[in-house]
Chains A and B, each alone.
Chain A
Amino acid sequence: MSKINKLISANCGVIRPDSVEDYVKAGGYEGLKKAFTMKPEEIIGEVKKAKLLGRGGAAYPAGSKWEQLLEIPEFPKYIVINADEGEPGTFKDKILLSQDPLRVIEGMTIAGYVFNSHDGYIYIRGEYRAIQKVFRSAIDNAVKAGYLGQNILGTGFAFHIHIMTGAGAYVCGENSALLNSIEGKAGRPRIKPPHLAEVGLFLMPTLVNNVESIANIPTIVLEGGEKYLSYGTKDSGGTKLVCLSGNVVNRGVYEIPFGVSLRDIIYDPELGGGIPNGKKLKFFHLGGQSGPIGSQAQLDTLYCYKALRNAGLSVGSGAVVVMDEDVCVIDYLKGVTEFFIHESCGKCTPCREGNKQIYAILCKLSEGQATQDDMAVLRRLIDTMTNASFCGLGQSATVALNTCWKLFKAEFEDHLNQKCPAQVCFTEQGRGE
């Protein structure tokens, strides 16, 4: 039986992305039409039944988020979609934005209807400038066809979508930083509380959802929450777009129901197809740079929120980066840490300085200069950053290091003794920085 279930990606690569005609022919906008016959509370009820967890990475229950916003009496309310897909190894939102933007637009419009909001903002990362044009064209066509703008489908409801651009800052994926960026400011995270549902964009109540989360809304409304839940597992409703990259044969985006094993994701011929060039799997990195690292022994874990969490892993953004036996753990972690040095906004000390200190110790390890004392400092840095960083970026920047520490203790020891099992360090081919 196929392990792919295209609930939200069936149109991708099949229809003209910005064509309302194609989208409607493929069953599009049925969700919105049904939504108009329902009460906002009923729609939220279906989202709750669906057990849709935030697909951007935080896995916050979407239904609860919606419920909280509905209860807030202030207006106007804003719908904001986080399309700042900057997480390395993640390129799923790109597929939806560029190949089926109208599904995202339909989801946003339903959210607008639920909260009686008239303005939606989609924040698309600056690296996707070309995709912003496709999205713009889809918006224009939806307005022309009466599915967006004033008096949508004759209901009297008005909803407008504005595209905002990022300019290269990973931290803007953090929702409060993202709102600052939409306001035209530097994207530094805000102090919470107040929560964004109460004080969000332009200080008004705001819903911030990920692209993939909102793309699921039309399906949930149309098929009902229970049906949607049944596609996945008991606790993880529906499907997930997973992004396979690194040392794996079939790199790309695949929509799988929750409950498929990691082994199938990496090795099934229909999915990852295994490791190229007859190499062995060494480890895999889930959910983005701030996600945990897993090894061979965890391959039979099922891909769903609960099973992964029990195994010390996580779904995160849906990234599955696969590394073969030629990759050195220390060299890999250097890459991860360099990323966080660059992307730390610098607002808080643990994150700004901690990443630099970790990098310095990793460099010492890869040069054979590190001592046991350095290892003790490394431990302390991990604890300090996890507990004392201002936002999620710094708090989770050490997750990969921490999980590697547990899985590959021997490889850290080897480097202390100037040995690199993958033969990346202490050689000419070592990463010359």
Chain B
Amino acid sequence: MEIIRRYEQVLAIINKYGKAKEQLLSILLDIQATSGQNYVAEEWAEIVARELDLPITKVHDVLTFYAMFNIEPKGKYVIEICKSTPCHVTKADAVVAMFEEVLGIKLGETTPDKLFTLMHTNCVGACDIGPVAKIGDQVYGNLTAAKVAEIVTSYREVSSCQK
């Protein structure tokens, strides 16, 4: 039943954008955002190709070209730490270490409870508050060890409330 519900959800996203080929990026971003695991699974990529009447290779081209798309499952929350130079010179490396310590994983890994994935990203356009981390659409700046711990706790709480 779960798979049918998801199938309908994916179709609804495609229809929301009028099945327009030029809306491929928006469609895939929405599918990813609603996946719960921050990725676009192959079966849904195939549905998109079929509905938009595109060759599957075109969909793969887009999925692998743009940095925001994942084709493997990630954590429910993907923590992206900016490594661009304005953040680098305001000590972004230290922020990576802080998250690694709080989460008990290394950069690039996902926590065993599948809640968090820790990644690097390029500039998110918040250089005035570097070093920054982006989780979903939310950007957190001027990060310190205390703030990092607080952010992780807040997401853990939200997630446990949803269960």
Contacts and interface: CB of A to CB of B under 8 A. Distances in A.
B135 to A, nearest CB: 12
Contacts of A9: none
B161 interface: no
Contact of A88 (B23, B67, B86): B86
Interface string A83-96: 00111111100100
Please indicate which of the listed interface residues A90, A94, A184, A186 has the most CB atoms of chain B within 10 Å of its own CB.
A184
Range of interface residues on chain A? 35 or more
Interface stretch (A247-255, A304-312, A410-418): A247-255
A421 interface: no
Interface string B113-136: 000000001111111111000100
A129 B33 CA distance: 11
Nearest to B130: A245
Nearest to A172: B66
A90 B130 CA distance: 12
Given A181-B25, A339-B122, A431-B93, A187 B65 contact: yes
B29 to A, nearest CB: 6
A184 B84 contact: no
A184 B66 contact: no
Nearest to A322: B89
B22 A342 contact: no
B83 to A, nearest CB: 7
Given A87-B123, A88-B84, A164-B22, A342 B29 contact: no
Interface stretch (A227-235, A330-338, A384-392): A330-338
A129 B62 contact: no
Contacts of B148: none
Contact of B125 (A128, A184, A324): A128
A186 B61 contact: yes
Nearest to B94: A429
A204 B105 CA distance: 50
Interface in B1-53: 20-26, 28-29
Please indicate which of the listed interface residues B26, B125, B130 has the most CB atoms of chain A within 10 Å of its own CB.
B125
B58 interface: yes
B66 to A, nearest CB: 4
Contacts of B56: none
Nearest to A243: B127
Contact of A339 (B66, B84, B90, B138): B84
Given A181-B25, A251-B129, A246 B89 contact: yes
B28 A167 contact: yes
B68 interface: yes
Interface string A326-363: 01000010011011001101000000000000000000
Contacts of B65: 169, 186-188, 345
A180 B75 CA distance: 31
28 contacts: A88-B85, A89-B86, A127-B68, A166-B25, A166-B66, A167-B25, A167-B62, A167-B69, A168-B121, A168-B122, A169-B65, A170-B122, A184-B25, A184-B62, A185-B24, A188-B65, A243-B127, A244-B128, A251-B128, A252-B128, A289-B84, A289-B85, A321-B127, A332-B88, A336-B85, A339-B85, A342-B122, A343-B122
Interface of A: 85-91, 94, 125-130, 164-170, 181-188, 243-247, 251-253, 285, 289, 319, 321, 323-324, 327, 332, 335-336, 338-339, 342-343, 345, 431-432
Interface of B: 20-26, 28-29, 58, 61-62, 65-69, 83-86, 88-90, 93, 121-130, 134, 137-138
